[in-house]
DNA sequence: GATAAGGAATGCC
DNA sequence: GGCATTCCTTATC
C-alpha cells in the first residue's frame, strides 16, 4: 500500500504554469472529479487536497507511470489517456502521448504478441473443460462479453500464472505482491486484489465464474508439491524445492523471452484497457 | 455480513 | 496421481 503523500507543486504567480493555463487546469480538475465518481474505492482520488496539489504535475507529465503511481493502474491509465486528450486538444500533443503508450508496450515486449489476444468474445466455439486446449478460450457463461480472452500455445498452469503476475509489480502490485522471494511467500491484497487475480485467471481459463476461492483452493492443500499454505490470511508460499517452479521463476529474470509471461502480460494490459473502456462511458 | 479457509467430491489429463 | 474446479460449512475480520 502506497502511503507517500503528493509533493505539492510550487505555486506560480502567473496564470500560465509550464504550459498549463487556467482553462486546461479546470478541465483537468473536472476529469479528476469524474474519475473519483467512477472509482469510489480509490482513496487517492477522493483526497481532494492531494488531487488539487498534483493537477499541474499531471498536466505537464508525459509519463503514464506518474498517473498509475498516484491513482493505481486502472484509474491511472484512464486519467493518463484523458489528460493526453485534454492536452492534445489544447496543444496538439496527443500524437506524442500515443507514441509513449506504444513505446512502453514495446519495451515490455508486447508488441509482437498483440495478435495472441482476442479482444472480442467469439460465441460460436464452446470452451472445452480441459486445461490443455490449444484453441482460443471463450467464456462458458457471462453477462459481460466485452472482456478479452486469451489464446495460448501451452498448458495454462496456475502456479506459472501466479509467478508471472508477481513479476509484473508495475501492473499487479495492488493485487498480489511478494513478501519474501527467497522463501517464496506472496500475498493477495484484500478484497479487490484477490478478486482481480481470480478474474484474470478466469480469463486465462475461459471461465468467467472463476472465484478467489476456486483459484486458491489448491494453494491450501497441505503437502501440495508447488504451494505451501500459510497461517496468515491471503498469504501463500511457493515450494522452491519443486525444481520446475524454481526453474520457471529463474527464467523470468528475462521475462520478455518467456512466452507464458508475454501472454499473461498481454492479457493484463488488455484487461485494464477493457476496464477503462467499460468505465469510461458510465461515470 | 463479507471474506477467507477448510472439507469433500468430481473431472480432466 | 496431480491439478483444477465446485459446492458447502466453518472461522475470522
pLDDT in tens, A205-257: 888 889 999 999 988 888 788 888 888 889 999 989 888 899 999 999 999 89
- Of the candidates A139, A199, A242, which has an alpha carbon nearest to the alpha carbon of residue A188? A199
pLDDT for res A162:
95
Q: Is the pLDDT of residue A159 over 90?
A: yes
pLDDT of residue A283: 41
- Above 90 in pLDDT, residue A127? no
Distance CA A47, CA A64 (A): 20
Indicate the helix (H) or strand (E) that contains A150. strand A149-150
Q: Which CA-bearing residue is nearest the C1' of C11?
A: A233
Give strand letter and number of the nucleotide nearest A225 (CA to C1'). Answer: C2
| CA→C1' distance for A235 and B7 (Å) | 20
Residue nearest to nucleotide B12 (CA to C1'): A130
Nearest residue to A42 via CA among A77, A13, A14, A18:
A77
Mean pLDDT of A133-157: 50
Judged by C1' against the alpha carbon of A201, the nearest nucleotide is: C4
For residue A135, give the C-alpha cell.
Answer: 484453441
Pair A116, A268: CB distance under 8 Å: no
Residue nearest to nucleotide B6 (CA to C1'): A220
Beta carbons within 8 Å of A147's beta carbon, 6+ residues apart: A121, A203, A208, A271, A274
A235-270: burial string, b at 16+ Cβ within 10 Å, e else: ebbbbeebeebeebbeebeebeebebbbbbbbbbbb
Query: For A164-209, what is each residue's pLDDT tens digit?
Result: 999 998 889 889 999 999 989 999 987 688 889 999 999 998 888 8
**Contact at 8 Å (CB) between A121 and A145?**
yes
Distance CA A237 to C1' B12 in A: 26
The gap between A153 CA and C8 C1' (Å) is: 35
Q: Which class for A75: exposed (0-12), middle (13-18), buried (19 or more C-beta within 10 A)? A: buried
What Å value separates CA A207 and C1' B3?
Answer: 21
Please name the residue whose C-alpha is nearest to the C1' of nucleotide C12. Answer: A233
Residue A217 region by backbone torsions, left for phi larger than 0, else alpha for psi between -120 and 50, else beta: alpha
Percentage of chain A surpassing pLDDT 90? 23
Q: How far is the CA of A16 from the C1' of B4 (A)?
A: 52
- Cell 484453441 found at: A135
C-alpha grid cell, residue A245: 517452479
Residue A204, nucleotide of least CA–C1' distance: C4
pTM for the full model? 0.55
Number of neighbours of residue A66 by Cβ within 10 angstroms: 18
Q: Does the nearest atom of strand B lie within 7 Å of A154's Cβ?
A: no
Residue closest to C7 C1′ by Cα:
A214
**Is the Cβ atom of A208 within 7 Å of strand C at any atom?**
no
pLDDT of residue A164: 95
Interatomic distance A137 CA / B7 C1' (Å): 31
Is nucleic acid strand C under 7 Å from A203's C-beta?
A: no
Q: From CA A137, how far away is CA A128, in angstroms rounded?
A: 8
Amino acid at each position: 500500500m502506497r502511503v507517500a503523500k503528493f509533493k505539492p507543486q510550487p505555486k506560480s504567480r502567473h496564470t500560465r504554469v509550464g504550459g498549463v493555463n487556467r482553462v486546461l487546469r479546470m478541465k483537468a480538475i473536472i476529469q479528476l472529479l469524474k474519475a473519483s465518481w467512477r472509482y469510489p474505492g480509490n482513496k487517492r482520488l477522493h483526497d481532494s487536497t492531494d488531487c488539487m496539489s498534483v493537477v499541474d504535475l499531471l498536466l505537464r507529465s508525459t509519463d503514464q507511470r506518474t498517473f498509475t503511481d498516484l491513482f493505481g493502474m486502472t484509474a491511472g491509465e484512464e486519467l493518463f489517456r484523458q489528460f493526453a486528450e485534454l492536452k492534445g486538444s489544447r496543444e496538439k500533443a496527443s500524437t506524442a502521448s500515443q507514441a509513449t503508450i506504444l513505446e512502453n508496450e514495446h519495451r515490455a515486449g508486447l508488441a509482437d504478441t498483440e495478435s495472441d489476444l482476442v479482444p472480442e468474445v467469439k460465441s460460436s466455439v464452446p470452451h472445452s473443460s480441459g486445461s490443455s486446449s490449444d484453441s482460443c478460450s471463450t467464456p462458458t457463461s457471462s453477462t459481460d462479453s466485452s472482456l478479452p480472452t486469451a489464446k495460448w500455445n501451452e498448458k495454462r498452469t496456475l502456479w506459472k500464472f501466479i509467478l508471472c503476475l508477481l513479476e509484473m509489480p508495475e501492473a499487479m502490485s495492488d493485487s498480489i505482491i511478494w513478501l519474501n522471494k527467497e522463501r517464496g511467500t506472496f500475498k493477495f491484497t484484500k478484497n479487490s486484489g484477490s478478486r482481480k487475480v481470480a478474474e484474470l485467471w478466469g480469463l486465462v481459463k475461459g471461465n468467467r465464474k472463476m472465484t478467489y476461492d476456486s483459484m486458491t483452493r489448491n494453494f491450501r492443500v497441505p503437502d501440495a508439491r508447488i504451494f505451501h499454505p500459510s497461517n496468515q490470511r491471503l498469504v501463500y508460499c511457493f515450494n522452491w524445492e519443486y525444481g520446475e517452479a524454481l526453474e520457471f521463476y529463474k527464467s523470468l529474470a528475462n521475462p520478455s523471452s518467456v512466452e507464458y509471461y508475454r501472454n499473461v502480460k498481454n492479457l493484463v494490459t488488455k484487461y485494464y484497457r477493457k476496464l477503462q473502456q467499460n468505465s469510461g462511458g458510465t461515470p
